Structure 1
Amino acid sequence: MPLPWLDPDAEPAFPPVETALADPDGLLAAGGKLSSDWLVTAYSQGIFPWFEMGQPVLWWSPDPRLVLYPEHVKISRSMRKLIRKQPYLITMDTYFAAVIHSCKSERDSAAGTWITDEMQAAYIQLHELGLAHSIEVWAGSAIVGGLYGVALGKVFFGESMFSRQANASKIALIALALQLQRWQFGLIDCQVSSQHLLSMGAEEISRHNFCVQLRDLSAHDLQPGPWKFDDDFQLASDAI
């Protein structure tokens, strides 16, 4: 069956996620564009963009879906010990552009990147609209780790993370999960399975189950941006 092509000049509209390919897992459509209205429509339906340089915009909705329920985040004994030492300052929405650029740079030095210049610009626009958010992990005056993603209602859609020091991205994810618990978020979308995320408490659920939960949770009011940790948030005590 040919892959549906989405007209970038039309209103954002996607095929039903049930029509996504099984191989490659979850590939749903090509085309459209990386504007804020297309991205919000996609995320609200359990769809996300992923493509490499030189490819058209590709849209995905894999089955199964990897999710992390914030209250299920696993904090290992070694991570608790590190957190108690409080070696890092952790902030939200302080340097979004620097975080997404760092995620891109880390992948540029590996086997290529899907975070193209077009992708960066699109998510920076979402951040300016109060829909995309970042976590920054600081050692002194340097950002040594972090992550970014999109929030709709009570769902956070994780996009990418990076580390320049051991465990910095883990600390970012733990801090995010603990703060989202306080805000009564229902889940963090992790997209596709990885041992790293599974070890931190993420689990696979069916695409159907994911979409059912998404419809309910995304109907809640947005947590307005820019985000910041609660005034009484303390990673060392919240992580106990």
Structure 2
Amino acid sequence: MHQIPAHILLGAYTEGVFPMAEDGDIYWFSPVMRGIIPLDDRFHIPHGLKRSIKKKPFEIRTNTCFSEVMDGCSQRRETWIDEVIVNSYLELHELGFAHSVECFDEDGLQGGLYGVGLGKAFFGESMFSRKTDASKIALVYLVDWMRQHEYTLLDTQWMTDHLRQFGGLEIPREEYLKLLAEALADDSITY
């Protein structure tokens, strides 16, 4: 298999399920406790990051180099992003469902994130940084954009200490599925 068919991948997201690759196999997950970043006043920007943002170290772009962002995200010692995942999300990007936020400076792409947008939900897949704060600034930009466009759900799948500093939290699967259904009920907004 060189990619997951788009209709299967999108259908999985609508059911609260997402894929990860390991040793050439694709596994599907729907965590009992789901990571989200609240889009209300619980979203927190650490003070040091606020100072960095004021300096405007990066030009923020969206969807200009999706494959390069995926490549940056996959360049880790341990990664769940393999050729099948890359090909699958490249197709979703071509179909208008997968998106990237990118941070550029005079040296080129320095960080960013990618994920899938459906209805008023964004499913964050991965992020990376080559320079300090690049992925964090991309995340702050994404949250600001989502708020402006009245999105209701930013799904991070799992919760990490990195995401907790932004107010990220875990909620039970049942609660997540309710939020997901509400976010998917309005498909008028696209990224």
**TM-score in terms of structure 2 length:** 0.94
For 1:100, what is the secondary structure of its paired residue? helix
What letter corresponds to residue 39 of structure 2 in structure 1? P
1:120 matched to 2:90? The reply is no
User: Which of 151, 165, 175 lines up with 1:185 in the alignment?
Assistant: 151
CA distance in 1, matches of 2:90, 2:188: 18
Q: Is the 8 A contact 1:144 1:164 kept in 2?
A: yes
Output the aligned Cα RMSD.
1.4
Q: Which runs of 4+ in 1 moved over 4 A?
A: none
1:165 matched to 2:131? The reply is yes
Q: Deviations over 1:146-179 (max 9, x none)?
A: 0000011000000000000111110010100011
Q: Deviations over 1:43-76 (max 9, x none)?
A: 0010000121332x21100011010122332111
Q: Is the 8 A contact 1:152 1:222 kept in 2?
A: no
Larger Rg: 1
Aligned residue pairs, count = 189
Q: Is the 8 A contact 2:20 2:85 kept in 1?
A: no
1:52 matched to 2:18? The reply is no
- 1:221 is displaced (CA, Å) by 1.7
For 2:186, what is the secondary structure of its paired residue? coil
- Residue of structure 1 equivalent to 2:43: 73
**TM-score in terms of structure 1 length:** 0.76
CA distance in 1, matches of 2:188, 2:4: 21
Q: Deviations over 1:161-207 (max 9, x none)?
A: 00001111100101000110000000110111100001111111110
- The structure, 1 or 2, with the larger RCO (C-alpha pairs under 8 Å, 6+ apart) is 2
Higher strand proportion (structure 1 or 2):
2
- Residue of structure 2 equivalent to 1:215: 181
- Residue of structure 2 equivalent to 1:151: 117
Gaps of 5+ in 2: none
Question: Are residues 202 and 39 of structure 1, via their aligned partners in 2, closer, same or farther at CA, if it must alter by over 3 Å?
Answer: same
What letter corresponds to residue 143 of structure 1 in structure 2? L
Gaps of 5+ in 1: 1-7, 9-32, 228-240
